[in-house]
Structure 1
Amino acid sequence: MITTKDLTKVYRTRGREVTALAGVDLHVREGEVYGVVGTSGAGKSTLIRCVNMLERPSSGTVTVDGVELTALPGTEQRAGADLRAARRRIGMVFQHFNLLASRTVQQNVELPLEIIGLDRTQRRRKAGELLELVGLADKARAYPGQLSGGQKQRVGIARALAGDPKVLLSDEATSALDPETTRSILALLRDLNQQLGLTVLLITHEMDVIKSVCDSAALMRGGRVVEAGKLTELLATENSELARELFPLGEFGHGHPANTVLEITFQGDTSARPFVSQLARTYQIDINILGAAVETIAGRMVGRMRVELPGGHRDNVVPIGFLREQGLQVDVLNETDGAAA
């Protein structure tokens, strides 16, 4: 649904160049919620603005719903007719709402419908349906100044849906909201994804956002994507940086350097199996549980456990093999130097 290839964006100011994107390859499947996460300055917002061509890339391609946007004529200041038509299939939700204070909630949602030339009756009907969808039908006549932050963002989402887009882009849409309101907005985005079949690409600096609503994610750093994939696959990937960030185990114990310390990841059906007790009984070994946690990630139960087995790695090759045969992801930690074996 959304594909970027070798996407580069270079800003030239006062005789110097700043590279915001340095060859970004991204693929968002139709119907999924895809999160791009990274610290400030990683290039996240530039990426999403290039996806809808609010920023024209310096090089590379952007394809949305089968249309290569970078091949369409127009500039950042003046888009051509084909580019304007393509943009109408892409909704955009901004961090700071961008509502017009002098317009009512209903009129704010109607604005993009006015621009494309719908008559007054059609605009009112469509805006009413969208406000009902986002749970704000009773606020149609209110003004933005009378709304809470979460309500303003719901108006922004309704307005973004006015053109019946297939893709919804969200640029830090929850970063200005409190945790409870953030959860409600993320739940709304997931509901819209499922009800309308929307493909959602969201930008965030919060791992909790990725964890609670996304199917797939990419980690950006220095204008590049350093890791990307489905969350369930990343969690089962050895030495995945995104998995470590999503499910940190830093507070767990580290065991004795002379023993074997394992990090075990279990998902779905494997989370219900008593593999620790089976391992202890089968091989008659004492297992020290250093820490464990279970979370719901991408709608799937995921657990991680750090355990200590007596003896070195060579002494525990067979027990480790037993765990992996159960469908578990097992990482062996060398506590002497912190490397993975």
Structure 2
Amino acid sequence: MITTTDLTKVYRSRGREVTALDGVSLHVEPGEMYGVIGRSGAGKSTLIRCVNLLERPDSGTVTVDGQDLTALPGPRHRAGRSLRRARTGIGMIFQHFNLLSSRTVRGNVELPLEILGLTRRERARKALELLDLVGLADHAAAYPAQLSGGQKQRVGIARALAGDPKVLLSDEATSALDPETTRSVLGLLRDLNKQLGLTVLLITHEMDVVKAVCDSAALMEHGRIVEAGVVNELLATPGSRLARELFPVAGPVAGDGRTVVDVTFHGENAGQPVISHLARAHDVDVSILGAAMDTVGGRQVGRMRIELPGHPESNAEALAYLRERGLTVEPAAREAPAPRETPADGGTDEDPGPRPTDALAPEGTR
């Protein structure tokens, strides 16, 4: 549904160049919830803005629903109508809601419908249907100042659905919300994904968002994707950085005469007493140094750092025992220092980004 190929984007200002995207290739399947995660400055916001061409990449292609958007003329071009029409199939949710304070909730949802040329009656009917879908039908006459953060974001989601999109883009949509509200909004996005068959591409710096709703994920650093794949498969992949960051486990790894490994439990073995069986079957003392467990995609997944006495060579049979039972076993990795963050996004997390009407605005109004 969404494919980017070798996207590059360089921002130039006062003789200085910042490479926001450096050859980014990404593929999102139809109906998938895909998360792009990375630190501030990794290039996430630039990537998502290039998907609907609110930012035009310097090179590379963006294909959405089989159509190469980068081949279409810009909105200021005489033939730019085709790009605007393609954008109506792409909804976007913003971090800071971007609601118009002078309009009611219903009026905010009706705004893109006005641009699309619907009559007043059609706009009212459609807006109320969308507000009902996000659980805010009884707040249609309220103003944004009267809403909570979670309610404002639900209005933003309803507005993003106004054009009956096949693709929904989420630009840090939950980063300004408290944990409980975040869970509620993520649950709504997951429900809409299943109910409407939406393909959802979301960017975030929160690992909990990926764990809660994403089918697949990609890790971005310094304008590049350094790892990508199906979340459950990544969790079973030795050496996966995303797996380590989704389920970080603490515990000392240095020292001679002992074996320290990280063990990932997934599938049916997540609830089995494998470690106690290991201790009895191989008559070995097992120390648990750290553990993390959660639910990903409706399945329980966990990681555990354990210590066995003796060198790895002397524990080969014990480690093979764990692998034979479907667990992923790898040497515990020392924590690397956090990389220094750089403004590769061409802005900061506080940048509200493009106006919500940019993707639908008539020619010559931007």
1:55 is paired with a residue whose SS is coil
CA distance in 1, matches of 2:333, 2:18: 40
Calculate percent identity across the aligned residue pairs: 70
Quickly say closer, same or farther: Cα 1:279–1:155, change in 2 above 3 A.
same
Match in the other structure for 1:57: 57
Describe how 1:205-244 pairs up with structure 2 within 5 A.
Answer: 205-244=205-244
What amino acid is the match of 1:284? D
1:34 is paired with a residue whose SS is strand
1:53-76 Cα shifts (integer Å, max 9, x gaps): 001110000011111100111157
What amino acid is the match of 2:137? A
Match in the other structure for 2:256: 257
Quickly say closer, same or farther: Cα 1:148–1:218, change in 2 above 3 A.
same
Quickly say closer, same or farther: Cα 1:260–1:30, change in 2 above 3 A.
same
More displaced stretch, 280-289 vs 156-165: 280-289
Are residues 1:274 and 2:273 paired?
yes
Quickly say closer, same or farther: Cα 1:76–1:288, change in 2 above 3 A.
farther
- TM-score (structure 1 length as normaliser): 0.93
Match in the other structure for 2:329: 330
1:90-149 Cα shifts (integer Å, max 9, x gaps): 000011111111111111111111111111221111111100010100000111121111
RMSD: 2.0
2:154 is paired with a residue whose SS is helix
Q: Which has the higher contact order (CA 8 A, sep 6+)?
A: 2
CA distance in 1, matches of 2:91, 2:273: 46
Per the TM alignment, residue 33 of structure 1 is displaced from its structure 2 partner at its CA by 1.0
What amino acid is the match of 1:331? E
1:146-205 Cα shifts (integer Å, max 9, x gaps): 111111111010000011101100111111112221111111111111111111111111
Any gaps of 5 or more consecutive residues in structure 1? none
Contact 1:260 1:334 in 2 (8 A): no
- TM-score (structure 2 length as normaliser): 0.87
Are residues 1:317 and 2:316 paired?
yes
- Superposed structure 1 runs of 4+ greater than 4 Å apart: 75-79, 253-256
Are residues 1:193 and 2:198 paired?
no
Match in the other structure for 1:131: 131
Match in the other structure for 1:156: 156
Quickly say closer, same or farther: Cα 1:255–1:292, change in 2 above 3 A.
farther
1:238-282 Cα shifts (integer Å, max 9, x gaps): 2221111111112x3548531112211011211122222222222
More displaced stretch, 282-291 vs 33-42: 282-291
Contact 1:53 1:76 in 2 (8 A): no
CA distance in 1, matches of 2:304, 2:248: 11
CA distance in 2, matches of 1:329, 1:82: 49
More displaced stretch, 129-138 vs 205-214: 205-214
Alignment size in residue pairs: 336
CA distance in 1, matches of 2:12, 2:325: 55
Contact 1:62 1:69 in 2 (8 A): yes
CA distance in 2, matches of 1:324, 1:91: 44
Quickly say closer, same or farther: Cα 1:334–1:167, change in 2 above 3 A.
closer
CA distance in 2, matches of 1:324, 1:8: 41
Contact 2:9 2:19 in 1 (8 A): yes
Any gaps of 5 or more consecutive residues in structure 2? 337-366
Quickly say closer, same or farther: Cα 1:290–1:133, change in 2 above 3 A.
same
What amino acid is the match of 2:33? V
Per the TM alignment, residue 301 of structure 1 is displaced from its structure 2 partner at its CA by 0.7
